[in-house]
Amino acid sequence: MSAAPKIAIRDLRLEYVDEERGQRHVAVDALSLDVAEKEFLAVVGPSGCGKSTLISAIAGFLKPRAGTLEMDGRPIGKPGADRGVVFQEYALLPWKRVIDNVALGLKFKGMAKAERHAIARRFLEITGLAAAAEKFPHELSGGMKQRAAVARTLANAPEIMLMDEPFAAVDAQTRLTLQEELVRIWETSRVTVLFVTHSVEEAVFLADRVVVLTPGPGRVKASVPIPIARSRRSWATLNADPEFGALRDRVLTLVRGGDA
């Protein structure tokens, strides 16, 4: 990690302030973390340790109380199209057809309708949703909604994609499929990804590197590189793979509070 990082986080402190009661809650404290350019970084940690909070801060929804938060050497400010977010609750606009949801960011950029629909269609094809383009979100299954949400973020060509437990709300079977698809999609688009999840298996399966956070207020406990070749990342191959198993167990021990 010698080249300048995409995202540089130093001694970050994030707080929620309850104005009414005058209380503050420290969600993240003294967190330092680098995300390399074109890296797929997974973040795992116990519930409530501040993973979502960290995503909110990078996205620009929440301001740091202390420390620095930089992208390409510049402090991160307001939310913007350079940092795409895939939300756990999909956040598709129910009054827009799937194609218009996927093309939304391009519309914000002022792109003409034909052009942005062409791009959106391409990403719907990549995510296997071409047939659902004219549907409304409420007509899609959970897995399809999540694909649409990924397509929407990717179509907007962000510099980094922030994903907060994107597959938490879909069934186990679909989840495995989506993970494999994400690996495949990421091969083609190669954007920097920060992926938050509860599932250690998911993290090890997807990422180049897994960062484990301590229980809240969160800080980095360990960083585990995952040197598994991209070409081998399918469940059929990795399920019984000893290297995958060893890495998974190591991260699992770290999450459970042990040292490894």
Residues of this chain that bind ligand ATP (CB under 6 A): 16, 25, 27, 45, 47-53, 198, 216
Judged by beta carbon distances under 5 to 8 A according to partner kind, the member of Mg ion, another protein, ligand ATP, none in contact with residue 47 is ligand ATP
Instruction: Provide the edge-to-edge strand list for the sheet that holds 74-75.
Output: 23-35, 7-18, 66-71, 74-75
In the complex, minimum distance from the CB of residue 115 to another protein, in angstroms, rounded to a whole number: 16
Q: Pattern of binders to another protein over 145-184, x per CB under 8 A?
A: -------xx--x----------------------------
Judged by beta carbon distances under 5 to 8 A according to partner kind, the member of another protein, ligand ATP, Mg ion, none in contact with residue 166 is none
Cross-strand partners of 17? 24
Residue with Cβ nearer another protein (108 or 235): 108
Is residue 224 a contact partner of residue 250, using CB atoms and an 8 Å limit?
yes
- Is 232 a binding residue for another protein by CB under 8 A? The answer is no
Instruction: Provide the edge-to-edge strand list for the sheet that holds 220-225.
Output: 83-86, 160-164, 192-196, 40-44, 209-213, 220-225
Residue with Cβ nearer ligand ATP (51 or 147): 51
- Is 77 a binding residue for another protein by CB under 8 A? The answer is no
In the complex, minimum distance from the CB of residue 22 to ligand ATP, in angstroms, rounded to a whole number: 13
Residue with Cβ nearer ligand ATP (52 or 177): 52
- Is 198 a binding residue for another protein by CB under 8 A? The answer is no
Residue with Cβ nearer ligand ATP (168 or 183): 168
> How would you class 151 by CB atoms within 10 Å of its CB: exposed for 0-12, middle for 13-18, buried for 19 or more?
buried
> Amino acid letter at 140?
L
DSSP assignments along 57-101, one per residue: HHHTSS--SEEEEEETTEE--S--TTEEEE-TT----TTS-HHHH
- Is 83 a binding residue for another protein by CB under 8 A? The answer is yes
Query: Residues with Cβ < 8 Å from 150, sequence gap 6 or more?
Result: 86, 127, 163, 166, 182, 185
Neighbours of 150 (CB within 10 A): 26
Interface residues toward another protein, by CB under 8 A? 59-61, 78-81, 83-85, 87, 89, 91, 93-95, 104-105, 107-109, 136-139, 152-153, 156
